[in-house]
Amino acid sequence: MGGSLVDMIREDLVAERIAVESYSEIIRWLGDDDQTTRNLIEDILKKEEEHADDLSNMPETFDPEKAPALK
């Protein structure tokens, strides 16, 4: 264990982006076959994208000068 807070945030960001990719893949797989399920997954995808955005801006929130937003 160990690593800095920014390292931890970076790892969480990777996990959020994997979630975004997974939900996007499900939506592509569903296509137009099941609009109700698709709407549900799209809502979840939006939340995961917000999580990724929040995390990518988090280091800047703590210390704008030393920690630019993660890429």
Residues within the interface to Fe ion (CB under 5 A): 16, 48, 51
Q: Are 30 and 42 in contact (CB under 8 A)?
A: no
Minimum distance, C-beta of residue 49 to Fe ion, in the bound complex (Å): 9
Minimum distance, C-beta of residue 51 to Fe ion, in the bound complex (Å): 4
What is the distance between the alpha carbons of residues 30 and 46, in angstroms, rounded to a whole number? 17
| Smaller CB separation from Fe ion, 34 or 69 | 69
Minimum distance, C-beta of residue 40 to Fe ion, in the bound complex (Å): 16
Residue whose Cβ sits closest to Fe ion: 51
